[in-house]
Chain A
Amino acid sequence: MFQSLPRTLAALGLLTAVLFGAPTARAADPIKIGIALSMTGNLADSAGHYRKAIELWRDMINQKGGLLGRPVELVLYDERSDPATAARLYERLITVDKVDLLIAPWGSASTATSSAVAEKHKRLLINAGGASEKVQERGFRYTVQTAAPISAYVEGIAPLMAKYKYDSMVMVSRDFNAARDMSAALEKIAKEKNIKILNSEYFPAGSTDFSSNIAKGRQLGPDVWVSLAYPNEAIELVRQFRATNYLPKVFISNGVSQEDFLKAAGKDGEYAIGMSLYEPVMKTKGNAEFAKAFVAKYGYEPGYFAGFGYAGATVLAEVVTKTGSLDQDKLRAELDTYETDTVLGHHKIEPKTGLQVGVKGLLIQVRNGKREIIWPTEFKTIDEVLPLPAWEQRS
Chain B
Amino acid sequence: MKAPLLIALFALLLAVVPLFGGDYVLAFCVQLLVFVSLAYSWNLIGGYAGYTHFGQVTFFGLGAYVGALLMQSGVHWLLAAAAAALSGLLVALPLGGVMLRLRGPFFAIGMYGMARVFDSLALGLDDITQGGTGLYLTPLGNLYGIYAALAVIAVVMLIATYRLDNSRFGLQLLAIREDEQAAEAMGIRTARLKIAAFAASAIAPGAVGSLYATYLSYIDPSTAFGSMTELTTIAMVLLGGLGTVFGPLIGAVLMSVVNEFLWSRFPELYLGLVGCIILAAVLFMPRGIASFVVKRGWRGLPVPREHLRRIALRARGAVPHV
Contact = CB atoms under 8 A, between A and B. Distances in A.
Are A and B subunits of one complex?
yes
Interface of A: 36, 39-40, 77-80, 82-85, 87-89, 91-92, 94-96, 109, 112-113, 116, 119-121, 132, 134, 138, 174-177, 179-181, 202, 204-205
Contacts, number: 102
Contacts of B123: 175, 202, 204
Given A175-B131, A176-B132, A204-B123, A82 B23 contact: no
Contact of A180 (B133, B212, B215): B133
A132 B264 CA distance: 25
B24 A88 contact: yes
A84 B31 contact: yes
Contact of A177 (B28, B119, B220): B220
Interface of B: 22-24, 27-28, 31, 119-120, 123, 126, 130-134, 136, 139, 141-142, 212, 215-218, 220-223, 226, 228, 263-265, 267, 271
A104 to B, nearest CB: 14
Given A83-B223, A95-B22, A204-B123, A109 B264 contact: no
Nearest to A97: B24
Contacts of A94: 23-24
Given A88-B24, A88-B31, A119-B139, A181 B133 contact: yes
A174 B132 CA distance: 9
A36 B264 CA distance: 8
Contacts of B271: 40
Contacts of B120: 204
A116 B218 CA distance: 9
B226 A82 contact: yes
Contacts of B220: 83, 109, 177
B132 to A, nearest CB: 3
B264 A87 contact: no
Given A40-B271, A119-B139, A95 B132 contact: no
Contact of A109 (B27, B126, B223, B267): B223
Nearest to B30: A88
A249 B165 CA distance: 67
A82 B228 contact: yes
14 contacts: A78-B265, A85-B264, A88-B31, A112-B217, A113-B216, A116-B216, A116-B217, A116-B218, A120-B141, A121-B23, A134-B136, A176-B133, A177-B134, A202-B131
A179 B220 CA distance: 14
Contact of B265 (A77, A82, A84, A177): A77
Given A78-B267, A112-B134, A92 B139 contact: no
B263 A109 contact: no
A14 to B, nearest CB: 23
B27 A87 contact: yes
Given A116-B218, A175-B123, A180-B133, A95 B23 contact: yes
Contact of B23 (A91, A109, A119): A91
B212 A84 contact: yes
A87 B134 CA distance: 16
A36 B27 CA distance: 15
Contacts of B132: 174-177, 179-180, 202, 204-205
A78 B263 contact: yes
Contacts of A36: 264
A206 B226 CA distance: 13
B131 A109 contact: no
B24 A112 contact: no
A112 B139 contact: no
Given A175-B132, A202-B126, 5 more contacts: A91-B27, A112-B218, A132-B133, A176-B132, A202-B132
- Which of B136, B141, B142 has its CB near the most chain A CB atoms (within 10 A)? B136
A373 B141 CA distance: 47
Contacts of A177: 132-134, 220
A361 B41 CA distance: 50
A71 B50 CA distance: 58
A37 to B, nearest CB: 11
Contacts of A121: 23
Contacts of A174: 132
B134 A109 contact: yes
Nearest to B217: A116
Contact of A96 (B22, B139, B222): B22
Contact of B139 (A120, A175, A180): A120
Contact of B131 (A39, A85, A89, A180): A180
List 6 tightest A-B contacts by C-beta distance, closest first.
A175-B132, A177-B133, A116-B139, A77-B264, A91-B27, A78-B267
Contacts of B126: 180, 202
Nearest to A138: B136
A133 B318 CA distance: 72
Contacts of A89: 264
B28 A88 contact: yes
